[in-house]
Chain A
Amino acid sequence: MIKKCLYVNRRAPYGTSYALEAIDAVLIGSAFDQDISLLFIDDGLFQLKKDQDTADVEMKNFSPAYRAYDMYDVEKIYVSKEAMAARGLKKRDLIIDVEVLSDSKIKDLMDEHDVIFSF
């Protein structure tokens, strides 16, 4: 049975571990042949920021994992236009290619999915 699964990411990386552990969940989810979409809203956008350098905080830089997503057929990756603007981010600041959605498209996206994961 194939379900449409939406993984919602709202939190920044490194300050908490939700972002890293969400990646694990997405990759495992992809192995189960489910129809996966990722949504980054609020501070979740910061997970996708390029040029993360964690040498001085001595934590693992896990941002390269986002580039692996398309190898796992995780291609439907959406970000909030409003959240980008509020945080002064542009598409070129992000580590992967994403589709930018308005609020009303995000509402539709949530509606269309069978299951919503929150981390």
Chain B
Amino acid sequence: MSILHTVNKSPFEKNNLESCLRYAKPGSAVLLIEDGIYAALKETRFEEEMTSAMKELNFFCLEADIKARGFSATKIIEGIKMVDYAGFVDLTVEYDKVQAWL
């Protein structure tokens, strides 16, 4: 079984992403939504950790939340795929279940 993990809080604000990465198994997916998208940005103090985590986990971010916060694809760490809400739905179907890191 593999899990789609959703993280909606900024890593600068809360430890939701940290906990998610502690427990996410290789082959599972992490979707960053809402304020969670800040973890997807290049040149933050989380970039190295994210790049390392990407070796085992599939990372996605919600484009609508990226754009809302004034960023674009050029500012996203390479390898993190942007999806729209339809893509979000597809991910919930593709993976066996969803775990929301609230």
Contact = CB atoms under 8 A, between A and B. Distances in A.
In-complex A–B contact (CB below 8 Å): yes
Interface of A: 8, 10, 41-42, 82, 103, 106-107, 110-116, 118-119
Contacts of B3: 110-111, 116
B22 interface: yes
Q: Which 7 A-B pairs have the closest CB atoms?
A: A118-B100, A116-B99, A118-B102, A107-B25, A111-B1, A107-B23, A42-B19
B101 A118 contact: yes
On chain B, which size bracket covers the interface?
10 to 19
Contacts, number: 37
Given A111-B1, A111-B3, A114-B97, A119 B23 contact: no
* Dominant SS among interface residues on chain B: mixed
Nearest to A18: B102
Interface in B13-72: 15, 19, 22-25
Contacts of A116: 3, 97-100
A103 B1 contact: no
Contacts of B99: 8, 110, 116, 118
Given A42-B15, A111-B1, A111-B3, A106 B98 contact: no
Interface of B: 1-3, 15, 19, 22-25, 97-102
A110 B3 CA distance: 8
Nearest to B24: A107
Nearest to A116: B99
A112 B97 CA distance: 11
B78 to A, nearest CB: 27
Contacts of B24: 107
Nearest to B26: A107
A69 B19 CA distance: 26
A111 B25 CA distance: 9
A41 B25 contact: no
B22 A103 contact: yes
A10 B19 contact: yes
